[in-house]
Amino acid sequence: MFSFVRILPRNAAVSLCIATARLTFCVLADRRKAGIRNLEIAFPGMGPDERKRILHSSIENIGRTVAEFAGFDPATSESSRETIRFDFESEEFIAYKKAKAEGRGVLMATAHIGNWEVLLSGFALQHEPIFFIAREIDNPLIDKMFTEKRAKFGSRQLYKSDSAKSVLKALRSGHSVGVLPDTNTDLREGVFVPFFGIEACTTAGVARFAIRTNALIFPMFAIWDRNESRYVVYNGQPIEPSNTGNPESDVLETTIAFTSEIEKIIRRFPEQWLWTHRRWKTRPPGEADLY
């Protein structure tokens, strides 16, 4: 289907993928249920109709993400601006450029909101290629297709399963590394930090990488703008890793900081986040399951 979507006109591709996403999640009733439960956790005062509306829009966004990523094949940096607009002169992005000028690495923290795939490719075209951490897809053919598509514009993929040494090397060499730290993780790899007021097990890896390499953490998100008919990039507040000499405290404080930036953008554009993921699945020992 991915190959077929690539040859369709943009509007037709988006309509097809949105329809497919709706149908898929009609079948995946457990995921729809998880989405509603997540919205109950995040917005306890919200009415059921509004939760359903947000979840419906979130599922549509999954379809749009696939369609726009499949069709994103600009010939030049200039033509890519028809799909995604960055603000490279913003006060936040000046901090990014300053860090790079000083030879520091940057951990570009985004989320499963808007279109993280077009964000990666658009940034590579309009500014510079980066490294990025991705989970290996179970189907090797699909994994190969996504890897080639992502790397087409110069960025390099690092698999989550064996990326630690490569990430450290890239950051120490002053490169940028893209990460998606907004999903649930297990107790062995995560720390509990507030997310919508509820403790959520969040990867400790981002903070550890930043602390060990003195890398700047730079939140960045590509949000669909209906008025512009393209993605508009929002820069979060740059985060300096905590470095008090207390490793556990430093990891916790740094993780709290970038998770807060992710929560801010989700609160602003809740219709575009991946609510069907069980974000609060891992609980502190002894605490009841939320699902």
- Averaged over 34-55, what is the pLDDT? 98
Q: How far apart are CA 259 and CA 246, in angstroms?
A: 20
pLDDT at 214 over 90: yes
CB atoms within 10 A of CB 7: 10
> pLDDT band for position 152 (50/70/90)?
confident
CA atoms within a 13 Å half-sphere pointing along the CA-CB vector of 7: 3
% of the chain residues with pLDDT over 70 = 95
Tell whether the torsion through CA atoms of 6, 11, 14 and 16 is positive or negative: negative
What pLDDT does 70 receive? 85
Per-residue pLDDT averaged across 213-221, rounded?
98
E strand segments, the chain: 84-85, 106-109, 131-134, 156-159, 176-179, 190-195, 198-203, 216-225, 230-235
Least confident of 124-133, 134-143, 254-263: 134-143
What pLDDT is stored for residue 76 in this prediction?
Answer: 86
Rounded to an integer, what distance in angstroms lies between the CA atom of residue 93 and that of residue 98?
Answer: 9
The answer to whether 96 and 216 are in contact (CB under 8 A) is: yes
Query: Is the confidence at residue 185, as pLDDT, over 80?
Result: yes
Instruction: Compute the average pLDDT of residues 45-68.
Output: 96
pLDDT reading at 38 higher than 70: yes
Per-residue confidence (pLDDT) for residue 160, from 0 to 100: 73
Residue 150 neighbours by CB under 8 Å, 6+ apart: 117, 120, 121, 132, 134, 157
Name the residue with tokens 């120490």.
Answer: 172
Average pLDDT over residues 73-84: 90
Local confidence band at 188 (pLDDT 50, 70, 90 cut-offs): very high
Cβ of 194: how many Cβ atoms within 10 Å? 13
Is 2 or 225 the better-scoring residue by pLDDT?
A: 225
For residue 150, pLDDT over 90 is answered with no
DSSP state of 172: H
3-state secondary structure of 260: helix
- Residue identified by tokens 């602003």 is 268
Q: What is the mean pLDDT of residues 227-237?
A: 97
Q: Mean per-residue pLDDT for 240-254?
A: 96
Instruction: Kindly give the pairing relationship between strand 216-225 and strand 156-159.
Output: unpaired
pLDDT score of 139 = 67
**pLDDT confidence of 52, banded at 50, 70, 90?**
very high
Sign of CA dihedral 106, 171, 164, 72: positive
Contact, 120 vs 130, CB < 8 A?
yes
CA 161 to chain centroid, in Å, comes to 18
Q: What is the pLDDT of residue 253?
A: 98
Pair 1, 65: CB distance under 8 Å: no
Residue 228, pLDDT score: 97
pLDDT over 90 at 140, yes or no: no
**What average pLDDT does the structure give for the chain?**
93
- Residues contacting residue 52 through CB under 8 Å, at least 6 positions apart: 36
Is pLDDT of 161 > 70? no
> Residue 42's pLDDT is what?
98
Domain ranges of the chain: 77-272
Q: Does 90 score more than 70 pLDDT? A: yes
pTM to 2 decimal places = 0.94
pLDDT score of 27: 92
Residue linked to tokens 């991915």: 2
Check residue 142 and give its pLDDT.
Answer: 65
Those residues whose C-beta lies under 8 Å from the C-beta of residue 176, and which sit 6 or more positions away, are: 100, 105, 106, 107, 108, 128, 130, 131, 218
